[in-house]
Amino acid sequence: MSRNKINISILIAIIFLGILLFFLNLFVGSVTIPFADLFNVFFGSEGNQTVSTIVFDYRLPQAVTALFAGAALSVAGLLMQTLFRNPLADPSMLGISSGAGLGVAITILLTGILGASALSTMGIWSNLGVSLAAFVGATLVLMLILGFSSRVRNMTTLIIIGLMVSYLAGSLTDIMKFFSMKEDIHAFVIWGMGSFSAVGTSKLMFFSTSIVIGLFASLLMSKNLNVILLGDLYAENLGVNVKRNNLFIILVSGYLTAIVTAYCGPIAFLGLAIPHLTRFIFKTSDHRILVPVVMLIGMVVSLLCNLVARMPGFEGNLPINAVTAFIGAPIVIWVILRKR
Amino acid sequence: MEVLRTKDLHIGYKDKAILPPINVSLDEGNLIALIGPNGAGKSTLFKTLTAHIKPISGSIELLGKELFEYSSKEKAMLIGLVLTERPDDMFLKVYDVVASGRCPYTNFFGKIEKEDENIIQESLEIVGINHLKDRYFNTLSDGEKQKVMIAKTLAQNTPIIFMDEPTAFIDYPSKIELFSLMKMLTKERNKTIIFSSHDLELLLRYTDDIWMISKGKELVSAKKDDLLESGILKEYFNLKEDIKI
């Protein structure tokens, strides 16, 4: 069988696995919904009200959130890894998530001081505020990292700088939290553990649309992503405006990371593990294939993580970060060992 | 036909010229070697002539037009580049590296059309690496990698090609192979190739012209045959022994 045919078969298998996981996400949880009831909710006339509420108000939005967040983080990771030509690059490792956290912390503190009220009481503005703050925080850290990257040639140095920036942002976040209102600190801690359940029905449309815009933008970048794999000088010689291109990659990657981080908290490991897994399965570095497939596998693994976090017994309280690391870390180790 | 000419060109970084003004010209179909000790400014000269850094002053005319008046896409269709740094990616295929040479010609999504495919195929065959096209770039020897990068540059279809130390880190038989490939490209494909190299004995056998630079000295361009007979090589680099081939 040719490589292409193998890839297509794997792709079909992954899509089926994704569909299966999506439905499992709908009927596995603290309340297990029998398949017949689930079927009735979607297609039947006499739907059970409780089942309908659980499925439409909780599980469906959560599954859709997991889907988009998984795709977004994985693509953001792929963009970072290609940009830095470093397999360890990942939005969270470069301090981007910490930047988002700091943005959120500052916003929480400021609304506490200026508005004299807890951010969590401000309804729709609180969501917009948190998202915007996370986005601004993430982008600022990204710009800082990009500034450093033009100075240091060595990518290991840059990652160390990223880690330090990450610690710095974390430290500032802790200071902000110290001065914040109690209600918000609790909200911040919950936010920090990561969850796909916070988006909910009301914000789902906004969340999904924002992510789709970022995913679409990254699909348009495949050609230049392929060229910069050769190195900056080669890319420039082939007519690519490397500086502008790098800035665009960082913007899209930061945008995706920021939106997901804002709504779901800093979710680790998907961005690092999924691009590795995809490259390893499909044995290619062609971004015209990688970008869409990374999205797909990101969706599937994210659904899997959400399912595990929701398994009966965890009562929906297991932080998603515990699961992504548990699944992601072995993937990275396995892939790296198989390479050598 | 003249493809490149510099007038009072000052090169360097941050307004500090590292060499006296450079006045050279380059004819189509020639193979030119740039020689000189490390740190003399070979890389800076290459980066300036390939428009990666701006000259401090003076002009570079490419096919009768000022280099910086070309758009980056036009430049990509005129100047090809082979560097010592190499792509390093686990799953990068030889074919994909060569195909990236079509970048200035393909559409927004980088779609390889039939014509591009023919040119990629031809480039692989000219360099003699057709059998390697499905291999991963990382698994090749240094000499093979260098040929892939040359094939990429051929796919780019530029009249001028710059090569930065193409024969460094390569075993002797591969060096000879590369030199004769470069010579063939200039004579049979009418490419103009400028390369830097430290393999003096070898390059003297293949090149047409030689450009010499040395710290603070004026760039001297000379025909290979004149160079050997006049003893200028010995004098320019302050050598103790005669150079005979």
pLDDT digits (tens, 9 = 90+) for B163-221: 999 998 888 998 999 999 999 999 999 999 999 999 888 888 899 999 988 888 888 88
On chain B, the residues whose CB falls within 8 A of the CB of A227 are 100, 103
Name the CA dihedral angle for B67, B70, B73, B74, rounded to a multiple of 10 degrees. -80
CB B144 within 8 A of CB B116: no
How many CB atoms sit inside 10 A of residue B68's CB? Answer: 12
Kindly tell me if the per-residue pLDDT of A284 is higher than 70: yes
* Complex ipTM: 0.92
* Structure letter (DSSP) for residue B131: G
Q: Report how far residue A56's alpha carbon sits from residue B119's, in angstroms, rounded to the nearest whole number.
A: 55
On chain A, the residues whose CB falls within 8 A of the CB of B103 are 223, 227, 238-240
Name the CA dihedral angle for A113, A116, A119, A120, rounded to a multiple of 10 degrees. 150
**Token pair in block for residue A59:** 């599980």
Express each pLDDT in A318-335 by its tens digit.
888 888 888 888 888 887
Residue B184: alpha-carbon gap to chain centroid: 14
Express each pLDDT in A121-168 by its tens digit.
555 556 667 777 877 888 788 788 778 876 776 666 777 888 898 899
Which pLDDT belongs to residue A257? 87
Average pLDDT, chain B: 89
Q: How confident is the model at residue A98 (pLDDT cuts 50, 70, 90)?
A: confident
Kindly tell me if the per-residue pLDDT of B116 is higher than 60: yes
Q: Looking at the complex, does the CB of residue A231 fall below 8 Å from at least one CB of chain B?
A: yes
Q: Got the DSSP string for B51-96?
A: TSS--SEEEEEETTEEGGGS-HHHHHHHEEEE-SS----TT-BHHH
Q: Report how far residue A333's alpha carbon sits from residue A137's, in angstroms, rounded to the nearest whole number.
A: 31
Residue B235: alpha-carbon gap to chain centroid: 26
Q: Report how far residue A85's alpha carbon sits from residue A239's, in angstroms, rounded to the nearest whole number.
A: 19
On chain B, the residues whose CB falls within 8 A of the CB of A236 are 52, 72
Kindly tell me if the per-residue pLDDT of A244 is higher than 70: yes
Which pLDDT belongs to residue A290? 95
Mean pLDDT of B22-40: 90
Which pLDDT belongs to residue A50? 75
Least confident of A181-185, B97-101, B121-125, B217-221: A181-185
Selection from A104, A106, A81 nearest residue A94 by Cα: A81
Mean pLDDT of B30-48: 90
On chain B, the residues whose CB falls within 8 A of the CB of A226 are 96, 100, 110
Which pLDDT belongs to residue A155? 62
Which pLDDT belongs to residue A1? 57
Nearest to B110 among A223, A230, A339 (CB): A223
CB B194 within 8 A of CB B164: no
Q: Report how far residue B94's alpha carbon sits from residue B135's, in angstroms, rounded to the nearest whole number.
A: 6
Q: Looking at the complex, does the CB of residue B54 fall below 8 Å from at least one CB of chain A?
A: no
Which pLDDT belongs to residue A21? 94
β-bridge pairing B192-196 and B220-223: unpaired
Least confident of A101-105, A284-288, A303-307, B228-232: B228-232
CB A272 within 8 A of CB A327: no
Q: Report how far residue A81's alpha carbon sits from residue A92's, in angstroms, rounded to the nearest whole number.
A: 12
Selection from B201, B211, B157, B227 nearest residue B42 by Cα: B211
On chain B, the residues whose CB falls within 8 A of the CB of A244 are none
Nearest to A229 among B80, B89, B110 (CB): B89
Q: Report how far residue B104's alpha carbon sits from residue A19's, in angstroms, rounded to the nearest whole number.
A: 40
How many CB atoms sit inside 10 A of residue A72's CB? Answer: 34
Least confident of A48-52, B61-65, B75-79, B94-98: A48-52
Q: Looking at the complex, does the CB of residue A116 fall below 8 Å from at least one CB of chain B?
A: no
CB A271 within 8 A of CB A43: no
Range list of β-strands (E), chain A: none
**Token pair in block for residue B185:** 């490209």
Q: Looking at the complex, does the CB of residue B112 fall below 8 Å from at least one CB of chain A?
A: no
Kindly tell me if the per-residue pLDDT of A30 is higher than 80: no
Express each pLDDT in B130-145 by its tens digit.
999 999 999 999 889 9
On chain B, the residues whose CB falls within 8 A of the CB of A284 are 91, 93
Which pLDDT belongs to residue A185? 75
On chain B, the residues whose CB falls within 8 A of the CB of A291 are none
Chain B nearest C-alpha distance from A255 (Å): 22
Q: Looking at the complex, does the CB of residue A339 fall below 8 Å from at least one CB of chain B?
A: yes
Rg over CA atoms, chain A: 20
Question: pTM of this prediction?
Answer: 0.87
Give percent above pLDDT 90 in chain A: 26
C-beta atoms of B109 and A222 within 8 A: yes
Tokens 């963009």 belong to A79
Give whole-number Cα distances, A162 to A89, A91, B196, in Å: 10, 10, 37
Q: Is B245 exposed, middle or buried (0-12, 13-18, 19+ CB in 10 A)?
A: exposed
* Structure letter (DSSP) for residue B130: G
C-beta atoms of A233 and B83 within 8 A: yes
C-beta atoms of A231 and B50 within 8 A: no
Which pLDDT belongs to residue A316? 59
Chain A nearest C-alpha distance from B48 (Å): 12
Nearest to B91 among A240, A283, A288 (CB): A283
Phi, psi at A219, each rounded to 5°: -65, -30
Taken in order A273, A274, A275, A281, is the CA torsion positive or negative?
A: positive
Domains parsed from chain B with CATH numbers? 10-198+206-236 (3.40.50.300)
Choosing among A216, A228, A229, A237, which should be mutated to test the B contact, i.e. which has the most B CBs within 10 A? A237
Kindly tell me if the per-residue pLDDT of B122 is higher than 80: yes
Kindly tell me if the per-residue pLDDT of B151 is higher than 70: yes
